[in-house]
Amino acid sequence: MNKAGERLYNGLVKENPTFVLMLGMCPTLAVTTSAMNGLGMGLTTMVVLALSNLFISLLRRVIPDRVRIPAFIVVIASFVTVVQLLLEAYLPALNKSLGVYIPLIVVNCIILGRAESYAYSNPPIPSLFDGIGMGLGFSFALTCIGAFRELLGAGKLFGAALMPEGFEPIRIFGQAPGAFFVLAMLVAVQNAIKNRRKKAGKPYEKIGSGCSEDCMNCSDRGCTRRFYDAGAAEKKPVRQPGSTAQGKRPKPAQKQAEFEYIDLDKEEK
């Protein structure tokens, strides 16, 4: 039971997928035009995340290591389909406003990341709670961003007018460019905190998240990895089930020469 509580806290605060890990940025930017949409997307993702974590954890001794990514994708896509059909039946309005982003939950790197880094190497109950915790963290973050954008962009919160009479809504926050600006501020705040921690001599490195360091450095890690690890043996060490979540995969040397990665800390190192 203690373990479950720890997983919830971990997902909600310590490794919050949006504010700390910066994962799943596509839906974060796209659906947070209002607090309601953010909450809906967050909860939908949470259901898929919790169920797929549970089932991948139950199946972890059955899935062969080499085809684990396709297997994860099948499990995740099945739950997405189930959830999508349920939404269509019972919450058609929400389904309509989230549109194409519901099926796109399949490629949300939070889900694949948790499957790979936690559920595949841990027992079912903690995995379930890990999914719920991460999902709650994601919902919380999306609702916050949605509320902020709705308040500035339309002067409302959950559809209720909140701002005083004279307030002129800043329309741009409700539109696509506003999403980029809000995210830019979020990352800037994160950078500022990190800089200060560094100055104080505290550890400031991000917590590795299995899938990828974060959505900004997706290039060779995590969410864009090979579908089928055909060259797993020679290219990358295959992750052993049971290895720690923090274990970073070494970058393939040849690819590293080709790209440079955006490393927020590079200048300071």
The residues that touch another protein, with contacts defined as CB under 8 A, are: 25-27, 29-30, 70, 73-74, 77-78, 80-81, 84-85, 100, 103-104, 106-107, 109, 112, 172, 175-181, 183-185, 187-189, 191-192, 195, 215-220, 223-228, 230, 255, 258-264, 267
User: What region does 143 belong to: left with phi over 0, alpha with psi -120 to 50, or beta?
Assistant: alpha
Distance from C-alpha of 160 to C-alpha of 162, rounded to nearest angstrom: 6
Write out the two tokens for 243. Answer: 């290895």
* Residue nearer to another protein on the CB measure, 46 or 182: 182
Residue 167 beta carbon to another protein: minimum distance, rounded to whole angstroms:
22
Query: Could you tell me the smallest distance in angstroms from the CB atom of residue 230 to another protein?
Result: 7
DSSP letter (8 states) at residue 262: -
Q: How far is the CB of 77 from another protein (least distance, A)?
A: 4
Is the Cβ of residue 97 or residue 217 nearer to another protein in the bound state?
217
For residues 26 and 157, which CB has a smaller minimum distance to another protein in the complex?
A: 26
Closer CB to another protein, 157 or 216, in the complex = 216
From CA 112, how far away is CA 146, in angstroms rounded? Answer: 24
> C-beta of 15: minimal distance to another protein in Å?
19
Task: Return the sign of the alpha-carbon dihedral for residues 120, 126, 128, 134.
Answer: negative
Check: CB of residue 127 under 8 Å from CB of residue 54. Answer: yes
